[in-house]
């Protein structure tokens, strides 16, 4: 099954595919190993900054090698891409999917730019015999992946500011995107003490109005109950990043402090990789109804 088919199956079953952002090869293996153990499909995401660090073509090569060696259903997404040039770069490199993030643009500008990205992807899908998915984003939810004391400035979390079903339907109709990431009370990063509640009723309305799979960004910090409700309402992919970064950093600090004389990276980095893997395992169980 390709990624499109896995997403369709997840939507039918009212479960969700886990999407986990990584910045290092440790992260790639943490996600891959967790998904392999649970025997579920998974998406690795790399934002512009993350793929610049790993390498655009290198990320593709690593994920492809894992897929081929293990026969594992693991896919690669170019997360939060802000220009057509960088969308083209990811598609040319061999990514399975790409997100054009025009959330801070006007609706008209977002539609215009997203449409160009979709056209480029469709042309390459036909020419290369690939099925490249394009995701659009509607509603700004911040850019941070930090643990914060308050909601990021400009993030739309009030009910009257969130993505409107009519706007979502227009956006999908005019751009022909395959997936849509709306603002439904979710934010990037995590709020100390817990993130705001998700508007799961709005998720259902957007799912109905667009007729395509809906993606939940910024799910780090949201309660398990909220995420489960959102999945039942129509979420087919759930993004996690900050919780992985927090787990990695905490385990790395602990590892270095417990043995300050150790200089072998594979030894002091391993606990950090395992800490990320545990987070991924817990989230995949939640998203796939395996609790």
The residues that are catalytic are 79
Give whole-number Cα distances, 256 to 25, 242, 263, 264, 272, in Å: 19, 21, 9, 11, 10
Burial tier of 194 (Cβ tally within 10 Å: 0-12, 13-18, 19+): exposed
* Closest C-alpha to 80, from 49, 42, 37, 109: 49
Distance CA 212, CA 190 (A): 27
């Amino acid at each position: 099954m390709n990624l499109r088919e896995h997403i369709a199956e997840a939507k039918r079953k009212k479960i969700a595919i886990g999407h986990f952002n990584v910045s290092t090869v440790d992260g790639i293996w943490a996600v891959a190993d967790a998904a392999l153990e649970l025997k579920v499909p998974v998406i690795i995401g790399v934002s512009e900054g993350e793929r610049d660090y790993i390498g655009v073509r290198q990320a593709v090569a690593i994920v492809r090698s894992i897929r081929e060696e293990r026969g594992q259903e693991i896919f690669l997404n170019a997360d939060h891409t802000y220009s057509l040039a960088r969308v083209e770069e990811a598609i040319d490199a061999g990514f399975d999917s790409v997100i054009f993030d025009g959330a801070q643009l006007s609706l008209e500008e977002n539609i215009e730019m997203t449409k160009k990205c979709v056209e480029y992807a469709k042309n390459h899908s036909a020419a290369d015999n690939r099925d490249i998915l394009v995701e659009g984003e509607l509603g700004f939810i911040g850019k941070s992946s930090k643990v914060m004391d308050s909601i990021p400035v400009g993030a739309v979390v009030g009910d009257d500011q969130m993505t409107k079903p009519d706007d979502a339907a227009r956006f999908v109709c005019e751009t022909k995107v395959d997936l849509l990431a709306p603002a439904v009370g979710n934010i990037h990063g995590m709020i100390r003490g817990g993130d705001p509640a998700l508007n799961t009723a709005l998720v259902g309305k957007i799912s109905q109005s667009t007729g395509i799979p809906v993606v939940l960004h910024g799910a780090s910090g949201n309660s398990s109950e909220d995420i489960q409700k959102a999945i039942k309402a129509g979420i087919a992919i759930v993004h996690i990043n900050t919780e992985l970064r927090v787990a990695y950093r905490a385990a790395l600090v602990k590892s270095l402090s417990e043995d300050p004389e150790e200089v072998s990276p594979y030894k002091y980095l391993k606990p950090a990789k395992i800490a990320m893997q545990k987070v991924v395992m817990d989230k995949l169980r939640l998203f796939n109804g395996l609790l």
